[in-house]
Amino acid sequence: MKRFRFRLAALLRYREFQEQQARQAVLEASRVLRECEADLARQQGCLDQARAACEGEALGGMSAERFLLFTRFVAGLETRRDAAQARRQTLLKELAACRRRLADAVVQRQAVEKLKERRQSEYDRDMAKELQKQTEEIVLMHRGRKEKK
Q: What is the reported pLDDT for 21?
A: 97
In percent, how much of the chain has pLDDT > 90?
67
CA gap 128, 137 in Å, rounded: 14
Task: Give Rg (Cα) of the chain.
Answer: 35
pLDDT value, residue 1: 66
pLDDT at position 86: 96
For the whole model, what pTM was predicted? 0.74
Sign of CA dihedral 114, 120, 126, 129: negative
Please give the span between the terminal C-alpha atoms of the chain, in angstroms, as a whole number.
Answer: 33
Question: At 5, which helix (H) or strand (E)?
Answer: none
User: Mean pLDDT over residues 84-93, rounded?
Assistant: 96
Rounded to an integer, the average pLDDT of 28-48 is 94
Cβ-contact 28, 59 below 8 angstroms: no
CA distance to 97, 125, 136, 144, 145, per residue, from 133 (Å):
54, 12, 5, 16, 18
Question: What's the pLDDT at 36?
Answer: 95
Nearest of 71, 83, 95, 76 to residue 40 by alpha carbon: 83
What is the per-residue pLDDT for 57?
A: 80
Q: What digits encode the pLDDT tens for the residues 89-108? A: 999 999 999 999 999 999 99
